[in-house]
Chain A
Amino acid sequence: MSTPTAGQQSPANGKSTDEDLAPGTTKQWAGLHKWLKRGLMVCLVGLVIEGSFDLPFLAIWYGWPTLSMHDICSELMKVRYNNESLECQYPYRFPGPPLSGAPEAAAVDTARDKWGIQPVPEYPRLGFRELVRMHDERIARQNAANNIAPHP
């Protein structure tokens, strides 16, 4: 494709000349480049906001600071595999899977799915800080089963 260079173009209708354009941008594509620049700036700011706030947002949604990161990890695992006895192993031996040994859920077969060519997961949808409620209810249940009086 032969693209006219800035030096070859002449001002049209006395409007802005190519002198105003950035190197590499010809008048023909100036509008496109302007909009692309705006899009790029939106992506830049968007990526920064996402990168900065996704972990804090997720941590708060799933129960931090009431629950520790280890608690959240374990609660999510219990939901994922429909199994209250599962706990996130922490610290995990190093080097863990995939470099050595089987992954932590390799032998777990309690997850509920509608199996078929297109499996459908059947774990519940989790609302805002629902893990805290689930965590507290389970602890209360376990304490009741063990006849331990709740903390006054």
Chain B
Amino acid sequence: MNLPLMNRRSGDGKKRVTSSVAGSGTVDDRYEEGRLAQRQADKWLIAGALLIGANGVAGTLGLPLFLWGLKLQRDASKAGLTVRPIMVTLIGYLVIVDAGLNLQGWILDMVANHSLIYRVLYTAIGNVMDGGYFWHYNQLWIGGAAAPGEKGWEFACILVVFPMRIAAAIAFLQMKRWGQQWLLVTCWFGVVIWVGYVMNMTEYADVRYAHVVFPVLGWWIFDIMYITPFLAIPYLHTVNRDIFSE
């Protein structure tokens, strides 16, 4: 992993000397110490993110692991080690989890729409808050949700947006410049998706919300948690880009 370079590239050099004096060894020793601390934290963060992304009850097991990884990283940062900024970690992992959950949900609606678990889960959730996943479910030739336009969004996001965003987020977590730049691009894709998707839902509001249990507000309460890419945009525009490596 390429670690934050701010103090090594952009500082005036005095900081480096100070940190090596305050630490237990040379700059290289401290750098190695930071690398190991980051690696240790990442093991917990990856395990936690995988469980959260696996959905279901596994998520409740994943959250403590993820938070423990964040704590390890914060402790390392407080100890003066060169580790990834917490914000980069949070955004990188959350964007992956967010994209992974969306990807999983939409791929399953596309190819696993006749499995019992997803026929129950999707048509039930559709009946609760989004009729697009209930109305004429499994009647289109491709199966799954039949709401006008839905399959178009699914296809575009499965093939283009989410894989691209996950790739960018991995590079972002590795503190690579292209990761930051492409995360910015794919998070703006997210704005296009949301605006287009919400307009599509509004256009066909009867299909989406007529006779569902919690119309409109239910959808917003559920889906607002997927705005991670929106929260990433202001950070990506205001972060000091010197911390990313070429």
**Which positions in A face B, CB cutoff 8 Å?**
3-8, 22-26, 28-29, 32-33, 36-37, 39-52, 54-56, 58-59, 61-62, 69-70, 72-73, 76-77, 79-80, 88-92, 96-99, 102-106, 108, 111, 118-127
Minimum CB–CB distance for B184 against chain A, Å: 12
Given contacts A26-B240, A47-B59, A104-B114, 7 further A-B contacts (CB under 8 A): A7-B12, A24-B6, A25-B239, A80-B134, A80-B137, A102-B141, A103-B143
Minimum CB–CB distance for B167 against chain A, Å: 20
A103 touches B139 (CB 8 A): yes
- A interface footprint on B27-70 (CB within 8 Å = 1, 0 otherwise): 00000000000000000000000001001111110110010000
Minimum CB–CB distance for A6 against chain B, Å: 6
Cβ of B200 within 8 Å of any chain A Cβ, yes or no, is no
A76 touches B123 (CB 8 A): yes
A-B contact count (CB 8 A): 226
B57 touches A24 (CB 8 A): no
B243 touches A72 (CB 8 A): no
Cα A50 to Cα B234 in complex, Å, equals 25
**Which positions in B face A, CB cutoff 8 Å?**
4, 6-7, 10-12, 15, 52, 55-60, 62-63, 66, 77, 85-88, 90-91, 94, 97-98, 101, 110-111, 113-117, 119-121, 123-125, 127-128, 131, 134-143, 203-204, 206-207, 210-213, 222, 224-228, 231, 234-235, 238-243
> Which residue of chain B has its CB nearest to the CB of A63?
B124
A6 touches B10 (CB 8 A): yes
B238 touches A33 (CB 8 A): yes
Of A26, A40, A102, chain B has the most CB atoms within 10 Å of the CB of A40
A58 touches B128 (CB 8 A): yes
Residues of chain A contacted by B77 (CB below 8 angstroms):
22
B11 touches A7 (CB 8 A): yes
A51 touches B101 (CB 8 A): yes
Minimum CB–CB distance for B60 against chain A, Å: 5
B142 touches A36 (CB 8 A): no
Closest 10 A/B residue pairs (Cβ): A46-B225, A58-B124, A105-B139, A51-B59, A103-B143, A5-B10, A29-B238, A96-B114, A7-B11, A23-B4
